[in-house]
Structures are given as structure tokens and as C-alpha cells.
């Protein structure tokens, strides 16, 4: 991609592979990361939503990081999701991330408890203070029932010098524009593959991607086209990717992407409850989308 690994453009929100007994298969995660590295990904975020973070233990998250870091061997940045809805627990895991080989940490807006903005500010400031590593804040109101406002993010950045990025999955382009107005030097990543183009058009930096598990070259190509102001090409690539982006959210993420990887011959195991296999109709939608983006030769249904 030609980007320094320190500021990756295409970060795959890596799935967490499980073995037949439901145990974490950190070695398989390393294999997948290496495969994606070869195909255009220059960064990975581990133990995020797509990595089934709520059902991973802190030790599993750290072992995942160690394994993937070893596998990619400096060819891609490896960031670890360390945020939970518990500030003390988040601080503890964040402090441990450095020793596990993380080059950065991602912390999600606390879910379920719906803290007010001053509480969010204190939460993220405590996490940032716990590490010398760069921090990416992850805003996904659809899952957390809580929106981190741009002004709060600006206050946080003024307090904590290691907050370098935000993963914006609010689906609110006006909010993204306001973040970039207030914080022009902050790296804004799209948290939604379908919105990579508009967010980069506003000045965003890249994407934390799910689709890049399957078509990393195309996701990288879209991001490159945006960086190089090749907007006609970017629009075409965006439209080509949309059916796949839609299919990957036909049911709760990461169910579709794990099924898609299995259909393409790179199985990563099942899911931890309460996640479960898709319905037959959902599985058919996923298979059809794979065929539509030219993975029909690989996909077996």
C-alpha cells in the first residue's frame, strides 16, 4: 500500500478463530493475518466487535495479540481492543497490551451503562494514561446505546496526547465532518465498509474493515483511489463492493464473515454463544454475495 505501518490505512477487524471445542485458536488467527498481509492489509485490530470481544477472556485477548504480532513479523500494525464497559478492567488490560506486543490499543465507548459525556471523557482519559501506546477510540452507538460527541472527543485529545485515531461507526456523516473540523490531525477511520468512500471524501484516513477478510486487494484499492483523489475509480470500486458489504451484515457481525471465510475454504471455526449459525436464507445471501464479487470459484455451497 506504500503507507507507513505506523499509520495504516486498511486495518482488518480480525475474527477470532475457535477450534472444534470452542477454544481460541490463536495460531489460526496468525495464519489468517499473514494471508491478509500478503494481500494488501497493513494493519489489524484484534478483539473488537468482529473478534467477539465480549466472550474473550483478558488472557485470550493478550495471547491473540502475541500470536498475530509474531505471525505478521512487522509487516502490518497490530492493535488490540482493550476497552470494556468497566473502566478499571479496561485500564488493566490496556496496561498489559504493550507486553503482549500491541503497537496500539482500541477502546470502545462503554456499552450498556450509557455514561454521560463527562463520564466518557474520564473513562478514555484513564485508558490513555495507562499506556504509552497510541489509542484509537471506537464509537459505535448502534451497539453501545451511547454516542461519543465530537466536542467530548476534542476535550479528550486536548488532555491525552496519545489519542491518535477514532473509529467512527455512528453512520452520521455530519458528525464525522464535525470531528474533522475540530480535529483535523486526528486519523478518522470508517467503522463501516459501506461508508469508507464518503468518510474518506470528508478527509478520513482509512477503514477498520470486515470486508477485507475476503477482498483485501479491493478494499485497499478503494482506499488508495481516495487517497490519490481518483474519485471516479473510487466510486466504481465502492459500488462494486456494496453487495458484499450488505451481505456481511445480513445478521449480527461476525456471523456472516466467519461463514464467508468457511465458504472460501479458510475456516475459522464457529461462534461463542450467544452468537450462532445463520439461517439457511442468510447463508444463501452470503454465498450469493461472494459469487457476485467473483469469489464463486472459491465459494462452495
The Cα 228–Cα 131 span in angstroms is 34
Strand 187-190 to strand 163-168: parallel, antiparallel, or no bridges (unpaired)?
parallel
Tell me, yes or no, if 167 is annotated catalytic: yes
In Å, the largest CA–CA distance within the chain is 52
299's torsion region: left (phi>0), alpha (psi -120 to 50) or beta? beta
Contact in structure between 9 and 216 (CB atoms under 8 Å): no
Grid cell in block for residue 21: 471445542
Buried-state track 77-103, b at ≥16 Cβ within 10 A, e below 16 = bbbbbbbbbebeebbebbbbbbebebb
The residue annotated as part of the active site, out of 85, 167, 189, 258, is: 167
Query: Which one of 61, 111, 112, 138 is the catalytic residue?
Result: 138
Query: Are the C-beta atoms of residues 199 and 173 closer than 8 Å to each other?
Result: yes
Whether 138 is catalytic is yes
C-alpha cell at 137: 477510540
Which stretches of 128-258 are assigned E, i.e. beta strand?
A: 135-139, 163-168, 187-190, 206-209
Q: Which residues are catalytic?
A: 138, 167
Amino acid at each position: 500500500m506504500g503507507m507507513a505501518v505506523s499509520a495504516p490505512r486498511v486495518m482488518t477487524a480480525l475474527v477470532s478463530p475457535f477450534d472444534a471445542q470452542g477454544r481460541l485458536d490463536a495460531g489460526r488467527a496468525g495464519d489468517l493475518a499473514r494471508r491478509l498481509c500478503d494481500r494488501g492489509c497493513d494493519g489489524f485490530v484484534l478483539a473488537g466487535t468482529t473478534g467477539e470481544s465480549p466472550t474473550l477472556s483478558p488472557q485470550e485477548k493478550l495471547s491473540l495479540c502475541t500470536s498475530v504480532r509474531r505471525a505478521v513479523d512487522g509487516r502490518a500494525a497490530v492493535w488490540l481492543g482493550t476497552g470494556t464497559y468497566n473502566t478499571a478492567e479496561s485500564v488493566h488490560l490496556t496496561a498489559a497490551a504493550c507486553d503482549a506486543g500491541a503497537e496500539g490499543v482500541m477502546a470502545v465507548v462503554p456499552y450498556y451503562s450509557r455514561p454521560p459525556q463527562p463520564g466518557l471523557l474520564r473513562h478514555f482519559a484513564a485508558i490513555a494514561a495507562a499506556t504509552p501506546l497510541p489509542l484509537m477510540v471506537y464509537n459505535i452507538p448502534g451497539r453501545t446505546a451511547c454516542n461519543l460527541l465530537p466536542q467530548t472527543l476534542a476535550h479528550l485529545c486536548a488532555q491525552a496526547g496519545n489519542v491518535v485515531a477514532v473509529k467512527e461507526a455512528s453512520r452520521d456523516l455530519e458528525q464525522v465532518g464535525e470531528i474533522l473540523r475540530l480535529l483535523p490531525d486526528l486519523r478518522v477511520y470508517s467503522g463501516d465498509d459501506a461508508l469508507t468512500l464518503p468518510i474518506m471524501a470528508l478527509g478520513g484516513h482509512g477503514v477498520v474493515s470486515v470486508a477485507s477478510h475476503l477482498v483485501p486487494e479491493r478494499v485497499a484499492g478503494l482506499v488508495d483511489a481516495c487517497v490519490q483523489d481518483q474519485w471516479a475509480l473510487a466510486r466504481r470500486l465502492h459500488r462494486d463492493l456494496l453487495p458484499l458489504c450488505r451481505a456481511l451484515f445480513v445478521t449480527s457481525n461476525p456471523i456472516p464473515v466467519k461463514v464467508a471465510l468457511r465458504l472460501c475454504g479458510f475456516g475459522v471455526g464457529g461462534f461463542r454463544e450467544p452468537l450462532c449459525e445463520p439461517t439457511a436464507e442468510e447463508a444463501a445471501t452470503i454465498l450469493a454475495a461472494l459469487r457476485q464479487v467473483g469469489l464463486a470459484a472459491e465459494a462452495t455451497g
